[in-house]
Homo-oligomer: A and B are copies of this chain.
């Protein structure tokens, strides 16, 4: 039913394509927009079109960025022999916020999920492979002895784990001289043991480390 006239109705429908926005919140947003100062509304509309039009992916690590190559990949202070594979640019930001990672990244933009029909060719694995092969050649050129490391930091879900396994297999098949590691899975800091699921507890137990 069209109780608000076609302009607002169209806006409500358009807002509903956004993730986490249902009819009620779309309505609330639409009415908020009609009451906003006109220049703020224009800024919002411009930000939407500009972000879509000017979105670039870093040529090296594939994260979203303004330029050809992102600031992290350009930085001389980062360890370019340590590459962390993450699913999304948001995951990259999460690791950056810890302030404890000195290496570089590779953003897959998804994870392998046969359920959703997402195969290895639908995420940026080809780019990772090319990158690892180049790293191999560079290393031969430089005669460097430091070993490269690929930290697979995909999430601890079925899809994330499958993607990690796939990457490991790929590196082994191509006999790339790079160490593949996986982030630890276990009890989250501050978590009550009694509220944690069995699979996580079993992982925490299996991944126990010696206290020295």
Please give the residue numbers on chain A whose beta carbons come within 8 Å of chain B beta carbons, in ascending order.
Answer: 1, 3-8, 10-11, 13-15, 17-21, 25, 27-34, 36, 38, 40-56, 63-67, 70, 88-90, 92-93, 96-97
- Chain B residues with Cβ below 8 Å from A20 are 25, 28-29
Asked if A44 and B14 sit within 8 Å, CB to CB, the answer is: yes
Cα A11 to Cα B90 with chains together (Å): 15
- Chain B residues with Cβ below 8 Å from A92 are 3
Top 9 nearest A-B pairs (CB, nearest first) are A5-B66, A3-B93, A14-B47, A11-B51, A45-B45, A41-B52, A11-B47, A5-B65, A34-B55
- Chain B residues with Cβ below 8 Å from A52 are 33-34, 36, 38, 41
Cα A58 to Cα B11 with chains together (Å): 19
Asked if A40 and B25 sit within 8 Å, CB to CB, the answer is: no
CB distance from A99 to the nearest CB of B (A): 10
